[in-house]
Amino acid sequence: MLPFSYISGMEYFEAIRRGEIDAVKQHLSENPDLLNKRDSRGFPSLILASYNEQYKMTEYLLDTGADINVQDAAGNTALMGVCFKGYPKIAQLLIERGVDVDKQNTNGATALIYTATFGQREIAELLIKHGADKAIRDQRGNTALDHARMQGAPGIVELLSN
């Protein structure tokens, strides 16, 4: 039989994925430490909310004190996740709240590199507008521009070339 805290934690993380703010509020009122816990796959609350396109949940977790620059086991942040998935509204929220736009994961990739790799021009524009460093190189020595070229993304190549 699983301990209650494990089951409760599973319910908490599922509520985040589904955007059930009232359930998350209840879990956090009973156990505030859940805010900084990770699910069974190592994902923090904020990353789960943003990656599952839960704008209101992301906003609530930030308002509650979630670390905006928290990283998963691979060093990815909530901002990197939305760059991969293509959620510009959540990217804007994270940027407005002061996320580190140049944070690097364990492979040296940044949010801007992810936008180039996954063809997310709108988010790339936001990142550049808010000071993302186009010159940062990942562990293989590639910049966001290099990734855009490798992916055959002419719009992002043009954006990053200016």
Residue range 90-115: mean pLDDT, rounded: 98
Residue 162: its pLDDT value, please?
Answer: 85
Instruction: Domain 1-67: give its CATH architecture.
Output: Alpha Horseshoe (1.25)
pLDDT of residue 3: 37
Q: What is the pLDDT, as a whole number, of residue 9?
A: 67
What value does the mean pLDDT take over residues 84-93?
Answer: 97
pTM as predicted: 0.92
Name the CATH architecture for the domain at 69-162. Alpha Horseshoe (1.25)
Q: Alpha carbon 33 to chain centroid distance?
A: 21
| pLDDT at position 44 | 96
| Average pLDDT of the segment spanning 66-79 | 97
**Which residue is it, tokens 């910049």?**
143
Give dist(CA 109, CA 103) in Å, integer. Answer: 8
Q: Give the pLDDT of residue 10.
A: 87
pLDDT for the residue 28: 95
Give me the mean pLDDT over the 16-33 stretch: 95
The answer to whether 62 and 90 are in contact (CB under 8 A) is: no
Please state which of the ranges 5-19, 32-46, 100-114 shows the lowest mean pLDDT: 5-19
pLDDT tens, residue by residue, 130-150: 999 999 999 999 999 999 999
Residue 3, Cβ neighbours under 10 Å: how many? 8
Mean pLDDT of the chain: 94
Q: Where in the chain is the domain with CATH 1.25.40.20?
A: 1-67, 69-162
- Per-position b or e across 107-127, b if 16+ CB within 10 A of its CB: eebbbbbbbbbbebbebbebb
pLDDT band at 4 (very low <50, low <70, confident <90, very high): very low
Structural contact between residues 101 and 78, judged by C-beta atoms closer than 8 angstroms = no
Mean pLDDT of 101-128: 97
